[in-house]
Structure 1
């Protein structure tokens, strides 16, 4: 059984030859350690863009190629692309300080070279007037080269999975904080709705283009919860967010593309809502707040599950034995009768030990065989 058949059998709730394994948003630092090739930083655009003729798509293409090669070398069963690494043709970020820039959607990010990460800190939409003046790109302007290159590299042997965000993370990051968006929903609902509508129109247009390229799985990637529960009340989610997500899921289903919902945190209060939106799978079932075996028992006949090897402690700091035990815990909890993909509990971020990723895959192959 090749990688694609194995992975898609699990997606379609069937039993493959062994538990598929992959990783979420593998940080390019792991590709550097595995391949010996240096990833590019956004800081290259600050210092060398004019001389080299580079834009953000040069950075994204270079890093995506390294990540794809590393995923194949690690033995993953799928290749994954993220829509947040897709930019307008010729786009360069607007630096407002040496390590701080505004992206094409009006979100402010800070680069931390010492820990090799870039993180969100603010947004430019401080008022309805700012929203009036905000100029985000047309989805038709976004380069899909990293997706097309990854499809070519997959070569029919690997499924192509693509993250496509919806209407939660983008609006609150553009607004400058989730607290601001929540207050807007109560105090200025028309303003909040306009911002959400703007992001939805962009994301739906981008999703349609991504589907046209030829993907096997869409990952709707907006977080909805933290460790205590949903970040918005279920009432607000049902009124302002779920209808948009349902439309995006429906767009995928109209092209026979399955959808996996990603969200960290405690999703128990809204799991039935999420399933009613039409999703096919769930990631990551965060291990500190959700029980993988319980979710499998209650929902495992309705959705496939992907997760949930702990990337908060075990993968960054754990020993080889701890990683192997964690992999076996996940397989024991959720692999019975298929419909399970072994992966991380959020992402393979820069603080994860690369050698622990190797161990994770090895143990999945050793322990995850289905008996016939």
Structure 2
């Protein structure tokens, strides 16, 4: 079990540079309810983010900058917040956690018509100035972080922000039909996100860039590989070139079945893929095919084991991943999407404690 943050260890895993000292923990986001309970006090501040990461055993803290922050209203760039506001997405309150009476809020994107319908609404939309995001949060984190802990900055949304702004159906149909509006939106979003990455790469505390952009769903891609290759991947590769030029790991987050574009993701410059959903892809097969080229992150089943199983079930699944995926390095353990509030707290603790107990190299997770 490791007791102090060690981003060098995480970096070695992400870059597939052989076996690090231990299998790192890695999550896309963790809900405030989980973090608050782990800390025994409210979360939701930069100070609490750092304290939680240290206490739970993460080698980094997450923060969001750019269009995702605009879309999702993530104050200070903190992910997993209970209170969310957005001028683009619809906030819906419901009992998402069946174990509790109280309601929580989720943001839902429009499938039909979005805010941008034509050139006039494109021009009227309040596009964010890339220099206006709260980069002061990175300055503060630079002072708060313990030695050898870094910030993983979430940018992405090259594909996601355009369809959220236009609505899923108009965007996808327009893209397939070769209409100019979807391309105009992609170009505008890309310009903003590229500037954001250029800005965050100036901060010494930044250790990696993560690109959250769901390109698929359980059984396939949202649009064809041809359209992604023509209109989306060049922009993602451009940001990857900036990141790699600084010597930093470049991480992809995409749910869904990605077999048809895994080679493209490697060509975009990604070092790591998150979260490797079990319902969509066989992580052992992906590891066999991309060993040494893609670090695989996540894969502990959020659909069943983490949410519906027992702590013993979680321990057994984590040990299985450690035995079958971790050897040789290039694996970070975590949930197969994120850790929402409806994951039983005991199951979350079982996951991270099992990694700490059995995740030291060489792996012996029998």
| TM-score by shorter chain over 0.5 | yes
Change (3 A) 1:148 1:326: farther
Residue in 1 aligned with 2:184? 194
Query: What SS does the aligned partner of 2:89 have?
Result: strand
1:218, distance to aligned residue in structure 2 (A) = 0.8
Q: What is the aligned counterpart of 1:7 among 10, 17, 42?
A: 10
Residue in 1 aligned with 2:335? 344
Contact 1:139-1:202 within 8 A present in 2 as well: yes
Q: What is the aligned counterpart of 1:212 among 202, 207, 211?
A: 202
Q: Is the helix fraction higher in 1 or 2?
A: 1
Change (3 A) 1:149 1:333: farther
Aligned pairs (5 A) from 1:1-372 = 2-13=5-16, 14-38=18-42, 62-83=44-65, 86=69, 102-103=86-87, 107-112=88-93, 114-122=102-110, 123-176=114-167, 178-187=168-177, 189-214=179-204, 215-371=206-362
Give the unaligned 5+ runs of structure 2.
Answer: 76-82, 95-101
Structure 2: distance between partners of 1:72 and 1:311: 24
Give the unaligned 5+ runs of structure 1.
Answer: 40-61, 93-98
1:301, distance to aligned residue in structure 2 (A) = 1.8
Change (3 A) 1:4 1:346: same
1:66, distance to aligned residue in structure 2 (A) = 2.8
Structure 2: distance between partners of 1:26 and 1:231: 26
Structure 2: distance between partners of 1:135 and 1:129: 12
Contact 1:117-1:350 within 8 A present in 2 as well: no
Displacement over 6 Å in runs of 4+:
none
TM-score w.r.t. structure 1 length? 0.84
Structure 2: distance between partners of 1:87 and 1:265: 24
Structure 1: distance between partners of 2:137 and 2:84: 24
Structure 1: distance between partners of 2:311 and 2:92: 31
Q: How many residues were matched structurally?
A: 338
1:188, distance to aligned residue in structure 2 (A) = 5.4
1:348, distance to aligned residue in structure 2 (A) = 1.0
Contact 2:271-2:295 within 8 A present in 1 as well: yes
1:313, distance to aligned residue in structure 2 (A) = 2.0
